[in-house]
Amino acid sequence: MVRYDILVVGGGLAGLTAGLFAARAGRSTLVLEPQVPGGHLLNIQKIEDFPGFPDGVSGFELGPNTQMQAMNAGAEFAMAEFQALARPDSPDAFWDATTTEGEYRAGAVIVASGSHARALGVPGATIAWRARV
């Protein structure tokens, strides 16, 4: 079982940012994402009002750039689907995470699992976003 200081579940913008700052703080960090890092962000044509981009930025540009920044800071990435989390009763114990690609152990877990699209079920509406739980 591989051990990390910080395990981040989710590779959307929140997860990528968490991985970036955890790695910058000198913590061994793993970001788990079952698909492409960036999540739904990659489908957004133009994000306005994002700091540092006065003319906006595409999600397709922001996602990979944030991932590269996190990797350059030392964060590691694994394409794996998170399945379970367990912690022994001891307050000093590490978290044990089970994924489709194996098991990991971490001192702290940040869950940034994002959202998924679903039909709203109202005439005229096609998609609503709901947090993953």
- Confidence at residue 66, expressed as pLDDT on a 0 to 100 scale: 93
CATH class of 2-131: alpha beta
Are the C-beta atoms of 104 and 84 separated by less than 8 Å? no
Per-residue pLDDT band for 115 (boundaries 50, 70, 90) equals confident
Q: Which residues contact 88 (CB under 8 A, 6 or more apart)?
A: none
pLDDT tens column, 54-67? 999 998 899 999 99
Answer whether residue 128 shows pLDDT above 70. no
Q: What residue ranges do the domains of the chain occupy?
A: 2-131
pLDDT computed for residue 89 by the predictor: 79
**Who wins on pLDDT, 126 or 88?**
88
- Three-state DSSP at 119 gives coil
Strand-pair category, 95-99 with 82-86: antiparallel
